[in-house]
Structure 1
Amino acid sequence: MEQIFGGGIVWTIFIGLVAGLLARALKPGNDKLGLLWTIVLGIAGAVLARYVGGALGWYGPGEPAGFIASVVGAIVLLFLYGALRKKKA
């Protein structure tokens, strides 16, 4: 697990929280997510950024995706969440 995120699980949770909070602050609108889902959002954004960056050749296998890319990935996931939520309602 440490090789995937470049640090321990506590560090991953902390970075996920910060990336998720920044994504929620930068994206307009009211996204009603609790603290746990904000952390999950940030971690998922980092995984998304790492996958896309690796597929496009922006990152190598041992390199971290980057904090800014994690926030951008989380914002993309927030837009997808908002689109799916509107479709449901």
Structure 2
Amino acid sequence: MTIEGFLGAIIIGAIIGALGRLLLPGRQPIGILWTILVGIVAALIGTFIVGSMRDTNGIDWVEVLVQVILAVIGVAAVASFKRGRTT
């Protein structure tokens, strides 16, 4: 992986993770690093799922939607895990 790919993954992960946190109601007790990690994982899994079903060129809005939904699920999972550990 090149440095551009690594930085791109961090930026896309931050955007997807932030959208996931934005769409999840309530307060999530997770930091920015967890948000970026969840966003990166959601982006990778979403790309794999949608990419295996169809050929994408350019921006595929279905792929972005799947990535954001996965980020919402991931943020909720990490937040519930963090809440369970702190109380």
Q: TM-score when scaled to structure 2?
A: 0.68
Q: TM-score when scaled to structure 1?
A: 0.67
Number of the residue aligned with 1:45: 42
Quote the sequence identity (%).
27
Cα separation, 2, equivalents of 1:19 and 1:67? 8
* RMSD (Å) for aligned C-alpha atoms: 3.0
More helix as a share of residues: 2
Matches within 5 A, 1:1-89: 1=1, 8-54=5-51, 57-58=53-54, 66-84=63-81
Q: Which runs of 5+ in 2 are unaligned?
A: none
Provide the aligned length of Structure 1 versus Structure 2: 83
Q: 4+ runs of 1 displaced by more than 4 Å?
A: 82-89
Q: Which runs of 5+ in 1 are unaligned?
A: none
